[in-house]
Structure 1
Amino acid sequence: MNATNAGQRYAPPAILLHWLQAALLLWLFWLGWSMVELPKGAERSAAYALHKSLGIVALGLVLLRLVVRRLAPPPAPLAAGREAMLAQAAHRLLYVLLLVLPLAGYAASAFTPYAMKFFGLELPRLGAPDEALNALFKRVHWVAGWAVLALVALHVAAALRHALRRDGTLARMLPGRLSRN
């Protein structure tokens, strides 16, 4: 990995992790949306367990992305002025929310009477079951989820705008051959 990433493209590990995170987020949103409609029973329990495990994977991915970002900083923005400032603010907020979202989900789960598991492996509790704390962290998880969804929509809209302008911004995050005009 190039420590300076002086080129115009993101480092290959950053590109890979970006697209893995995007796919995982789509899966998590779909699963989160659909699991609440399931009737109580084995299928619903399995959906919740998978959602929780994938949420922990998403947290790990964003932490890994932050390490990769530190080792291989992104290329300088092609935009300037207010557009660059807004893009940087949106990216920072997205990273914060990508941390808050799974942490709040974990905390909400940790304050229920049910064991918190990561693909079957029991994880430590944060405390005794507490309905008020569970409700608080569920609310934070819900709000952060919708905020991430809104920022992702803005991110996709900006990417489409860059694609239509053909300014090269989108190509810097596309894998290999897709990045060529």
Structure 2
Amino acid sequence: MTPLVRVDAIAAPLMRDNIDTDAIIPSREMKSVSKTGLSGGLFAGWRYRGSSGREPDPAFVLNDPRFAEAEILVTGANFGCGSSREHAVWALAEYGFRVVIASSFSPIFQGNCVRNGVAPVVLPDDVCDILAGLATEGARIAVDLETMTVSAAGQRWSFALEDEPRLMLMEGLDAIELTRKGQARITAFRAADAQARPWVYLEN
């Protein structure tokens, strides 16, 4: 994955609470088991209209030219609730979002974000409202994982992220790569255990 240390970008405001994974990527849009080919179905139920099901709805934020290059999504509480489908994060990432800012996340969705290089940033409701307003006015938002801050228009707010998710995001690690960082300890343990319990190990 691409390391994520700092993002300074346009943000798209989508201030709705309880956006579930079926709204993020409807099941009818999940036509592949890979991580690609999903961005077109992102928020499809809100993004499109018309008999073809693919006519952009100009009222939806992602169809607003001001937010065409958005890499940050600012949204409401309990984002990513519903089913545990990882496709929801895959669709967000393929579309170009590196950060989602919300007042709370579904725990499973939050974990899926980290494992796929998207930073889930939790800030209070009133701060999310401020950021959404600034985004609407065209202000860029900066998210910095080194300083653990979000800043925009001369204002700054701190957020919390546990050490392991922060490391995974900043170094672009998936769960397997994170485990491999402990390879020396794993090897040492195996060698010591082979001495203590040789009957457990097959002979070469």
TM-score w.r.t. the length of structure 2 is: 0.21
Q: Indicate the structure with greater helix content.
A: 1
TM, length-normalised to structure 1: 0.23
Larger Rg: 2
